[in-house]
Amino acid sequence: MSIQLKQVSKQFGEVVAVNKVDFAIQEGELIALLGPSGGGKTTVLRMIAGLEMPTGGDIFIRGQRVNDLSVQQRNIGFVFQNYALFKNMTVFKNIAFGLKVKKWKKADIELRVGELTELLDLKGLEKRYPHQLSGGQRQRVAIARALAPKPSVLLLDEPFGAVDAKIRQELREWLVRLHDDLNVTTLFVTHDQEEAMEVANRIVIIAKGRLEQIGTPREVYEQPANEFVARFIGVMNILAIEVRNGVGRAGEMEFPLAGVPDGLARVGFRPYAVQVSPLLDQYRYRAVLRRTYFLGVMLRLELELPSGLIVRGRMTKEEYSALGLRDDQQVSIQIRQFRLLAHDQSPLTPEVATTYETPPTIGENI
Amino acid sequence: MAAQTVKRSALRKSHRGSEESKVTRVVLTVVALLFAGLFLLLPLVNVFYQAFSGGVRWYFESIRDPDTLSAIKLTLTIAAISVPLNLVFGLAASWAIAKFEFRGKSLLLTLIDLPFAVSPVVAGLIFVVLFGRSGYFGEWLDSHDIKIIFAVPGMVLATTFVTFPFVARELIPVMQATGSEQEQAALTLGASGWKTFWHVTLPSVKWGLIYGVILCNARAMGEFGAVSVVSGHITGMTDTLPLRVEKLHNGGSMGAASSAFAVASLLALLALITLGIKTILEWKTARAHEQAQRATVDDTQLPFTSSDAPK
Amino acid sequence: MSKQKFNPLPGFRLTVGFSVLYLSLLVLIPLGALALRASSLTWAEFWKYTTTPRAIAAYKLTFGASFVAASINALFGTLLAWVLVRYWFPCKRLVDALVDIPFALPTAVAGLTLSSLFAPNGWLGKFLVPLGIHGAYSKFGVVIALTFVSLPFVVRTLQPVIEGLELEIEEAAATLGASRFRTFTRIVFPTLFPTIVTGFAMAFARAIGEYGSVIFISTNKIGDGEIAPSVIFSYLENYQYGAAMAVAVVLLVASFLLLAVINLLERWASHYQT
């Protein structure tokens, strides 16, 4: 166990920023802390680092309770959102700083800095000052500086937030490769679900100070623990329904919900679960294909039912042309798979809530 | 809700990595406050204490003294001339510098600061060189019976010189910060140049303007060195309040000493009022800034009826 | 000042014209007149006037006391700025406002009250004079007055820079294991240093020109307790214009050099801010 949080809370005055968060991370994992801004994920990261003091609960790093260890004693590497490079020091001195503090020998420092400049593609920049570097270079210096003293965990706060979109993609791939090479336990904070899905082995979703779900990218996408996660990860159609006698209705749409008490509720389904056919009697509901959005390989369809309900579907270009679809065409649709997200009578646990019209299929997670 | 959480947490963030130990903090604070108390507060309190050391009656008698009253009058007169002059200059210079690009702009900016670098005594001296008896215009002025040096006009000139940069210095950054989009908008709506200036520019820089003016005024009323050189020190005629303080102080008697402080207390009061207005203005601009920031709110609440997914 | 890009706003000629005219009439022509008048002195005369023992003693006191005052302010001003930005304590706002007192309080009043504080029967003199510390009517008094008038410069120059320091940089040093002391000496202080020097230079420049407060607290004795501006003043009173101008030129040149140095320093300091 590399990092473990037990019932960790943080209050700022009366504001609860982090509320009884529990999770555990194995040695060598690459974890994303994902959530909307202001949801407490950065506070969690800062508490692990020792930059904030939890007001409740315990934090363990490699089995040792670190609540009472100061930030200097925790042996973590921290990469700040805006890098926080030392402006009055060269790249070399920035990277060497943590080693000098730990009283490494001069020759060892030079060796270690050499290793890191090699690894992070910073060779030749050793004598530059931070203001003479590009955004991507600054980021790599920040990571090299954090890695230099061989920390037990690497923590990154919004590591791709401050660079532009094109470099961001490169940096993501590059962080994955770096992690594969070094195998150091890594936690990064992000508010970008796509980034989390692409980079992390597992995702910790935090919102309003609470842990919403922890799981692999596929788990959080296919089995969101609750409505928040379902909404936050990927695109989801969400319909307000009224449940009566085991059936939920929204407009002409019906959702079988055996055993669910009567009342107001919401169901959700992914665009990929919407099946579309140009044959009007192939599927259960009639709809009009209002608009097609081209998103590269995938297309998104906006379908309108006679009652005015809007449903989003998606398919590949190939499927689209095989079906011979075009805008404003009459089609028939069907919802292959959905889940109950919320109910005004009883807060449902995800396992109970999950019901499928057809058995769940795996392998269609985009 | 969420935005508020962020803001407050930002305010109360504990800086475990960027804070000194409690003992260090207390020691540093105490030393800094001792220094401030000794060098800033004590001298100020002492002025008022000494002013009333001869009793309240003596205090008011000192101020009611005809020579002091005439010094008050002269001080107000000089400020009433030199402050508006520098105000007009400050408005013109800041308009030109903030709204236009031209060659020599940075030179102009440097020259505006020049009087700050000139010792007040030297500031007085240059006007003696120009208008004094053996100065460039001395003979001509003498023959036309115009008195500038050792008279009020010279004192006005010297005061205006010394307080020259104040309004411009305060206004230029404020005007630069507001940019010229508002003015351009007013022009596209058909407003004339003057109308634009009065209704758009002036209101948006008013706090900076007021601050510049009160600072300029405080320095104009309190100026000593430059005025002292060109005054001639004729009691009841060419003594300003600061010069009157010096004269009473040099008077030597016990009574004169507390009279000097009584007159000085008027000037100290002026300083306090100036700082009071300054603090209020800063408070006002800080609050306006805060309100502007608070206007941006993001809300992640999920309402119970919705059929639209994020992103 | 001609070539100007197109700008729809009116009033360029009017405002530049007025600014330049006003600046010339009030500042440039009078200063030029002094320069012209001083240049009518021969080198020998100039040298004689500017190197009399009286003038030399005055330079020594002016520059020496200003240097000490600016140094005191560099130390305590930095401390005060740090405490005002980083720590909380009661009446913090009031203390912050008090820092501007030397800007707003007329120098004559400052000199008057400081000399009375340090006089043998004053609030501070009562304790200091028996210890042999004479704050009033001494060279030490000159230092006190100059410290007072130049106090705000270091504080006010430094405050926005300390506010602008990224806390993350200090936190980064802490995550790398650096103690608070090490972080301050290796990271924070080197970042602040150019600004401290700028503030020092501004305080120094302000102090060498100061006149009003010093004459109240100094002995003003020729060759001992007389600052350069008082020498000019006294020459003027005795109609020795040549001598007055010569010493004034020395003072002006020193001030302008300092102004140039401050401009360079500010450029150096801004180098570290991005």
> What would the CATH number be for the domain defined by B66-301?
1.10.3720.10
Kindly list the partner chains of chain A, i.e. chains with 3 or more CB atom pairs below 8 Å. B, C
pLDDT of B191 over the 80 cut: yes
Please tell me if residue B40 touches chain C, with a CB cutoff of 8 Å. Answer: yes
Taking Cα atoms as reference points, which of C43, C48, C220, C77 lies closest to residue C148?
C77
Tell me whether residues A51 and C190 touch, CB distance under 8 A: no
Give domain status of residue C21, yes or no: no
Q: What is the pLDDT of residue B12?
A: 40
pLDDT by residue (tens digit) across C124-174? 999 999 998 998 889 999 999 999 999 999 999 999 999 999 899 999 999
Q: Read off the pLDDT of each residue in B2-25 and give the average, rounded to a whole number.
A: 58
> Residue B33: which residues within 8 A CB-CB, separation 6 or more?
C83, C89, C95
ipTM for the whole complex: 0.91
A50, A207, A344 ranked by CB distance to B300: nearest: A207
Give domain status of residue C25, yes or no: no
Best-predicted range by mean pLDDT among A331-340, B3-12, C263-272? Answer: A331-340
Tell me whether residues C209 and B120 touch, CB distance under 8 A: yes
Tell me whether residues B121 and C116 touch, CB distance under 8 A: no
Cα–Cα dist C187/A73, whole Å:
19
pLDDT by residue (tens digit) across A59-85? 999 999 999 888 888 999 999 988 899
Answer yes or no: are the C-beta atoms of C124 and C141 closer than 8 Å.
Answer: no
* Chain A residues touching C182 at Cβ < 8 A: 101
Nearest CA in chain C to B265: C109
pLDDT by residue (tens digit) across B23-44? 999 999 999 999 999 999 999 9
Q: What is the pLDDT of residue B305?
A: 33
Q: What are the residues of chain B with a beta carbon less than 8 Å away from any beta carbon of chain A?
A: 2-6, 8-9, 11-17, 298, 300, 302, 304-311
Cα–Cα dist A267/B307, whole Å:
9
Gap from A122 CA to chain B (nearest CA, Å) = 28
Nearest CA in chain C to B97: C16
Please tell me if residue A237 touches chain B, with a CB cutoff of 8 Å. Answer: yes
Q: What is the pLDDT of residue B9?
A: 37
Tell me whether residues B101 and C211 touch, CB distance under 8 A: no
At residue A363 the predicted structure's pLDDT band, cuts being 50, 70 and 90, is: very low
* Chain B residues touching A36 at Cβ < 8 A: 2, 300
Gap from B1 CA to chain A (nearest CA, Å) = 10
Q: What is the pLDDT of residue B298?
A: 36
Positive or negative: CA dihedral B18, B20, B26, B28: negative
> Residue C31: which residues within 8 A CB-CB, separation 6 or more?
B114, B118, B126, C252
pLDDT of A338 over the 90 cut: no
Q: What is the pLDDT of residue A352?
A: 36
Length of chain A as a residue count: 366
Which H helix or E strand runs over A303?
strand A298-304
- Report the CATH number at residue C66: 1.10.3720.10
Based on its alpha-carbon atoms, the radius of gyration of chain B, rounded to whole angstroms, reads 26
* Chain B residues touching C210 at Cβ < 8 A: 119
Q: Find the domain containing C51 and state its range.
A: 41-273
Give domain status of residue C13, yes or no: no
Give domain status of residue C237, yes or no: yes
Q: What is the pLDDT of residue B310?
A: 33
Q: What is the pLDDT of residue B16?
A: 65
Q: What is the pLDDT of residue B173?
A: 92
Residue C1, CA atoms < 13 Å, CB-side half-sphere: 17
Q: What is the pLDDT of residue C2?
A: 46
Q: What is the pLDDT of residue B11?
A: 39
B32, B113, B127 ranked by CB distance to C83: nearest: B32
Percentages (nearest 5) of helix, strand, coil residues in chain C: 75, 0, 20
**How many CB atoms lie under 10 A from the CB of residue A203?**
25
pLDDT of B211 over the 50 cut: yes
Tell me whether residues B20 and C212 touch, CB distance under 8 A: no
Give domain status of residue C34, yes or no: no
pLDDT of B5 over the 50 cut: no
DSSP structural state of residue A360: -
Gap from A180 CA to chain B (nearest CA, Å) = 30
pLDDT of B219 over the 90 cut: yes
Give domain status of residue C18, yes or no: no
User: At what angle are helices C12-23 and B105-117 packed, to 10 degrees?
Assistant: 30
pLDDT by residue (tens digit) across C177-186? 999 999 999 9
Tell me whether residues A239 and B307 touch, CB distance under 8 A: yes
Q: Is C253 exposed, middle or buried (0-12, 13-18, 19+ CB in 10 A)?
A: exposed
Tell me whether residues C178 and A72 touch, CB distance under 8 A: yes
Answer yes or no: are the C-beta atoms of B271 and C101 closer than 8 Å.
Answer: yes
Q: What is the pLDDT of residue A156?
A: 95
At residue B253 the predicted structure's pLDDT band, cuts being 50, 70 and 90, is: low
Gap from B23 CA to chain C (nearest CA, Å) = 12
Q: What is the pLDDT of residue B304?
A: 33
Q: Read off the pLDDT of each residue in C188-212 and give the average, rounded to a whole number.
A: 94
Nearest CA in chain B to C246: B122
pLDDT by residue (tens digit) across B159-185? 999 999 999 999 999 999 888 888 888
Q: Read off the pLDDT of each residue in C230-249 and give the average, rounded to a whole number.
A: 93
Average predicted confidence (pLDDT) for chain A: 87
At residue C7 the predicted structure's pLDDT band, cuts being 50, 70 and 90, is: confident
Please tell me if residue C102 touches chain B, with a CB cutoff of 8 Å. Answer: yes
Taking Cα atoms as reference points, which of A234, A187, A227, A223 lies closest to residue A207?
A227
Q: How many domains does chain C have?
A: 1
Of residues C7 and B59, the one with the higher pLDDT is B59
pLDDT by residue (tens digit) across C50-102? 999 999 999 999 999 999 999 999 999 999 999 999 999 999 999 999 999 99
pLDDT by residue (tens digit) across A77-115? 999 988 899 988 999 999 999 999 999 999 999 999 999
pLDDT of A40 over the 80 cut: yes
DSSP letter string over chain C?
A: ---------S-HHHHHHHHHHHHIIIIIHHHHHHHHHHHTS-HHHHHHHHTSHHHHHHHHHHHHHHHHHHHHHHHHHHHHHHHHHH---TTHHHHHHHTTHHHHS-HHHHHHHHHHHHSTTSTTHHHHGGGT---SSSHHHHHHHHHHHHHHHHHHHHHHHHHHS-HHHHHHHHHTT--HHHHIIIIIHHHHHHHHHHHHHHHHHHHHH--HHHHHHS--BTTBS--HHHHHHHHHHTT-HHHHHHHHHHHHHHHHHHHHHHHHHHHHHHHTT-
Q: What is the pLDDT of residue A231?
A: 82
Q: What is the pLDDT of residue A196?
A: 92
Strand order in the sheet with A30-34: A76-79, A153-157, A185-190, A30-34, A202-207, A210-215
Give domain status of residue C14, yes or no: no
